Amino acid sequence: PHVTRREDYTAPDWLVPEIALDFALDPAATRVKATLHVQRSDAHDRPLRLDGAGQTLLSVSVDGVAVNDWTIEGETLVLPLTGSAHVVETEVEIAPERNTQLMGLYASGGNLCTQCEAEGFRRITYFPDRPDVLSRYQVRMTADKARYPVLLANGDPIAAGDLPDGRHWAEWRDPFPKPCYLFALVAGDLAVNRGSFTTMSGREVALGIWVRAADVPRTDHALAALKAAMAWDEQTYGREYDLDVFNIVAVDDFNFGAMENKGLNIFNSRYILADPDTATDYDYDGIAAVVAHEYFHNWSGNRVTCRDWFQLSLKEGFTVYRDQCFSADQGSAAVKRIEDVRGLRAAQFPEDAGPLAHPIRPDSYQEISNFYTATIYNKGAEIIRMLATMLGAQAFRAGTDLYFDRFDGTAATCEDFVASLEDASGTDLTQFRRWYSQAGTPRITASLLHHKGSGRAELVLAQNTPPTPGQTVKQPVVLPLRIKLFGADSAQPYAPEQTVLLTEAEHRIVFEDVRERPILSINRGFSAPAILETDRSAADLAFLAAQDDDPFARYEALQQLMLDTLVESAGGARVDHAAVIAAIGGTLANPQLDRAFVAEAVLLPSESFIGDQMAVVDPEAIFRARETLRRDIGRALEASWRAAYDGARATTTGYVYSPEAKGLRRLKSVALGYIAASGAADAGALAFAQFEAADNMTDRQSALTTLVAGDSAQRTPALDIFYNRYSDNALVLDKWFSVQAMAPRDDTGAVVAELAQHRDFTLSNPNRARALIGAFGVNQRAFNAADGSGYRFLADQLIALDRLNPQTAAKLIPPLGRWKRFDSNRAALMRAELERIVAVPGLSKDMAEQASRSLD
């Protein structure tokens, strides 16, 4: 297999400062004429090489004259050229309606749209498909007017008109040079929700969210989020929007969440469409975050782009960090941080500990699509967050200003970003750069010793990063740890919070004049993306869960207490649940705490996170330990859960999307879950009543989730009612599939296999595939059934999906790659399925790379 290596980077031989594209759009056969103004980059005699994939080449001309001295090497068009600048024209034919991989130009829901990141543009026309070739684009589209009344492309519209044969045309021009992965066009029967935004320098921007006509009422939330994001980026980073129009189009079939094409973002409809009846609070939050994320890319990604794909985290890590801060500013910052850390632990920590581990700036790849990972995105965001913590808000902002200023209009590297922060702040980031090259999650041990007599306390910190594939020796990284000590009796802080930089393998900090026994609050706000081991007792954790003034640290202490209990009990010990129950009871009863925070804090760690703490994951034992603890918490605190449930229910009338209302709904659903876990006889009736009375999807889906987990008489009726009510709404049907695939039940594996045969199940829609297969893959107990049936099911589905859509298929492989974490029987069964996948003739390079790495 061909491997691309970061160290092999060379600047492009030919530049393309201008390109004109002319599309004769047709779903079966689209003609694309491309006019490239090419320039030799320096004194060399190499030919022009244009990437291509899957198209039919019809003609090539140079400076207006048809030529035939070109060759095709693999799928690359190689053209000998004599001068230093030429005009090269090609014409190709492509078939959007047969494009099932959803890269390039494809059909979705009767419309035509594009997805070019990372290497989809070469499926549209021949071009140097690499992010460091920046061009000004002019795009002309002609299409059947009745079928495709709306024609959109990047930049600003410049002209449009009708043609005699029922066709029409439109021309768009994007004045900003951009790499081809940011190219986009849409042709479709779409309606628009229009808005406008006045930028900080007083320019008026016309905003448009384009969807099918029936969905227009579901676009107000996305439009409001877009305006909020535009204002936030002005205030927080001084970044102003730069075109006269900003359009967003929602499509149903999409590999990613969304795409930041210049001036024409294309979105998976799940990140645009929302109304109270069909979208949960979680969906609303996700929409605001993704709309903001793609908008923020206009600067962090588009105005300054990536030199090569090894620099992907330059735009993604930074932009995720930016969207996380935006969301934190819109609602509860504490809850947002908890959610982000939970996401990091669910997806990125396992990746960093498994066969697919890679640094945030990888050294090599076979298929770049495989590197749109939690590591690049979420760990990448944590790296930026640490920089912000270390530099402080002002110097960090000076650094980002310098970065945008220096590299505007160019293709930059991660090094360029770090150097900008370094230059602006005067901070030496030499050692910090290891975060870019070293994979794996650091493990920190912290122990606090106290000598009562001398009043001296000593904090001993040590760090160690375990080996990852291809990187056996690890060096110490820079870990900013926010720390505070509390007196065990007075609950008073010993001193204000301080940030300790752990840079060595070991580090000791002495505190003088510590009179009371100190309790350590460390990695507050999750200031460093590490795994922490401390010698804090259950009593100390309970103390912090009740007293810490950092909400994240408080959450973390309670989680650690639960985790310790669950790991012990999954390991076979008889464990007393009293400490956990008391801590949860105290949290619930504390009127000072925000309800959204309470709802997060009292949730048990996931089965897979418990598994991550064990030498060998025992999915059955983990499931039993967790269910038993849930039941005990439900029973012991039943009155409190009912009070919380009734209280939240009484306070919420009519759907409002606000932090307070969200918090109440969240607490209500968590309380309902614990009431059901207690085994209360009325739980089914209670959940069904909520299900029926709900005026919003948050309440309806949480009731359904509770019903589906149990065996009440209302279970099947609720599933049927839900299905019938929403059978024409694909996004809600996805929920119907997911709820069943994630159910903590003995029959889940069998149900999922049956659902794969359901008439509404299809592998050709990525959302639907992920809703069933993706959700099942993270159901630790069901997926890891001892007989290997879950593994076989996943492999069968992945083999079938790979034929249609390799990119989405390859993303679903990680659960099979976790075999080293399981007992030898399960490991052998998982390996056998991976080997079966690798042996499939004609396997995509996406799957080939991920499946074979997963076997190592």
Cβ neighbour number for residue 753 with a 10 Å cutoff = 16
- Near ligand DPP in 313-332, by CB under 6 A: 316
Query: What is the C-alpha separation between 746 and 611, in angstroms, rounded?
Result: 19
435 binds, among ligand DPP, Zn ion, none (CB under 5 to 8 A by kind): none
305 or 779, CB closer to ligand DPP?
305
Burial class (CB in 10 A: 0-12, 13-18, 19+), 346: middle
Decide: is 853 part of the binding site for ligand DPP (CB under 6 A).
Answer: no
Closest approach of Cβ 118 to ligand DPP, in Å? 8
Draw the binding track, 312-351, toward Zn ion (x: CB under 5 A; -: no contact). Answer: ----x--x--------------------------------
Closest approach of Cβ 181 to ligand DPP, in Å? 8
259 binds, among Zn ion, ligand DPP, none (CB under 5 to 8 A by kind): ligand DPP
73 has catalytic annotation: no
Sequence-distant (≥ 6) Cβ neighbours of residue 834 within 8 angstroms: 795, 816, 817, 819, 851, 854, 855
Q: Which two tokens stand for residue 608?
A: 């897979």
Judged by CB under 5 A, the stretch of 176-184, 309-317, 511-519, 663-671 that binds Zn ion is 309-317
Which stretch of DSSP H or E encloses residue 195? strand 191-198
- Near Zn ion in 129-188, by CB under 5 A: none
Query: What is the C-alpha separation between 717 and 719, in angstroms, rounded?
Result: 5
Helices of type H across 549-606: 551-570, 578-589, 595-601
117 binds, among Zn ion, ligand DPP, none (CB under 5 to 8 A by kind): ligand DPP
Judged by CB under 6 A, the stretch of 26-34, 68-76, 245-253, 254-262 that binds ligand DPP is 254-262
- Near ligand DPP in 415-474, by CB under 6 A: none
26 or 294, CB closer to ligand DPP?
294
256 binds, among Zn ion, ligand DPP, none (CB under 5 to 8 A by kind): ligand DPP
Judged by CB under 6 A, the stretch of 221-229, 252-260, 451-459, 597-605 that binds ligand DPP is 252-260
Answer yes or no: are the C-beta atoms of 566 and 604 closer than 8 Å: yes
Please report the sign of the dihedral spanned by the C-alpha atoms of residue 710, residue 715, residue 720, residue 725.
Answer: negative
- Near ligand DPP in 347-366, by CB under 6 A: none
Closest approach of Cβ 314 to ligand DPP, in Å? 12
- Near ligand DPP in 186-215, by CB under 6 A: none
314 or 570, CB closer to ligand DPP?
314
Closest approach of Cβ 328 to Zn ion, in Å? 18
228 or 677, CB closer to ligand DPP?
228
Of 91, 117, 119, 294, the catalytic one is 294
369 or 678, CB closer to ligand DPP?
369
Closest approach of Cβ 362 to ligand DPP, in Å? 16
Query: What is the C-alpha separation between 154 and 141, in angstroms, rounded?
Result: 12
Q: Is-cis flag, bond preceding 601, omega within 30? A: no
Answer yes or no: are the C-beta atoms of 460 and 533 closer than 8 Å: no
- Phi and psi for 606 in degrees, rounded to 5? -70, 160
715 or 770, CB closer to ligand DPP?
770
Decide: is 256 part of the binding site for ligand DPP (CB under 6 A).
Answer: yes
Closest approach of Cβ 305 to Zn ion, in Å? 12
630 binds, among Zn ion, ligand DPP, none (CB under 5 to 8 A by kind): none
174 or 294, CB closer to ligand DPP?
294
Answer yes or no: are the C-beta atoms of 288 and 223 closer than 8 Å: no
Query: What is the C-alpha separation between 424 and 387, in angstroms, rounded?
Result: 12
Answer yes or no: are the C-beta atoms of 736 and 718 closer than 8 Å: no
168 or 239, CB closer to Zn ion?
239
Draw the binding track, 809-848, toward ligand DPP (x: CB under 6 A; -: no contact). Answer: ----------------------------------------
- Near ligand DPP in 257-276, by CB under 6 A: 258-260
Query: What is the C-alpha separation between 589 and 572, in angstroms, rounded?
Result: 32
CA 435 vs. chain centroid, Å, equals: 20
Draw the binding track, 478-517, toward ligand DPP (x: CB under 6 A; -: no contact). Answer: ----------------------------------------
Residue 811 to residues 187, 345, 368, 749, 846, Cα–Cα distance (Å): 28, 17, 12, 21, 9
256 or 486, CB closer to ligand DPP?
256
Q: How far apart are the first and last CA of the chain?
A: 16
265 or 678, CB closer to ligand DPP?
265
Q: Which two tokens stand for residue 230?
A: 């535009």
556 binds, among ligand DPP, Zn ion, none (CB under 5 to 8 A by kind): none
Closest approach of Cβ 377 to Zn ion, in Å? 7
Answer yes or no: are the C-beta atoms of 361 and 316 closer than 8 Å: no
Residues in the chain: 856
Cβ neighbour number for residue 131 with a 10 Å cutoff = 23
* Binding-residue total with ligand DPP (CB under 6 A): 9
339 binds, among Zn ion, ligand DPP, none (CB under 5 to 8 A by kind): none
Query: What is the C-alpha separation between 165 and 143, in angstroms, rounded?
Result: 10
Closest approach of Cβ 730 to ligand DPP, in Å? 21
384 binds, among Zn ion, ligand DPP, none (CB under 5 to 8 A by kind): none
Answer yes or no: are the C-beta atoms of 100 and 70 closer than 8 Å: no
309 binds, among ligand DPP, Zn ion, none (CB under 5 to 8 A by kind): none
* Binding-residue total with Zn ion (CB under 5 A): 2
Widest CA span in the chain: 96
Closest approach of Cβ 115 to ligand DPP, in Å? 8
Reduced to 3 states, what is the DSSP secondary structure of residue 392?
coil
Closest among 764, 776, 818 to 254, alpha carbons compared: 764
316 or 550, CB closer to Zn ion?
316
In our burial notation (b when 16+ CB lie closer than 10 A, e otherwise), range 258-289 reads: bbbbbbbbbbbbbbbbbbbbbbbbebbbbbbb
Cβ neighbour number for residue 330 with a 10 Å cutoff = 18
Closest approach of Cβ 258 to Zn ion, in Å? 8
- Phi and psi for 497 in degrees, rounded to 5? -55, 140
107 or 259, CB closer to Zn ion?
259
293 or 662, CB closer to ligand DPP?
293
- Near ligand DPP in 525-584, by CB under 6 A: none
Q: Which two tokens stand for residue 187?
A: 């042709």
Reduced to 3 states, what is the DSSP secondary structure of residue 32?
strand
Closest approach of Cβ 259 to ligand DPP, in Å? 5
Which residue's C-beta sits nearest to ligand DPP? Answer: 256
Amino acid identity of residue 802, one-letter, is D
Reduced to 3 states, what is the DSSP secondary structure of residue 208?
strand
Answer yes or no: are the C-beta atoms of 846 and 798 closer than 8 Å: no
Closest approach of Cβ 560 to ligand DPP, in Å? 32
- Near ligand DPP in 277-296, by CB under 6 A: 293-294
Rounded to 10 degrees, the C-alpha dihedral 606/612/618/620 comes to: 10
Closest approach of Cβ 316 to ligand DPP, in Å? 6
166: DSSP letter: S
Decide: is 117 part of the binding site for ligand DPP (CB under 6 A).
Answer: yes
Q: Is-cis flag, bond preceding 118, omega within 30? A: yes
Residues that bind Zn ion (CB under 5 A): 316, 319
Residues that bind ligand DPP (CB under 6 A): 117, 256, 258-260, 293-294, 297, 316
Question: Which active-site residues does the annotation give?
Answer: 294
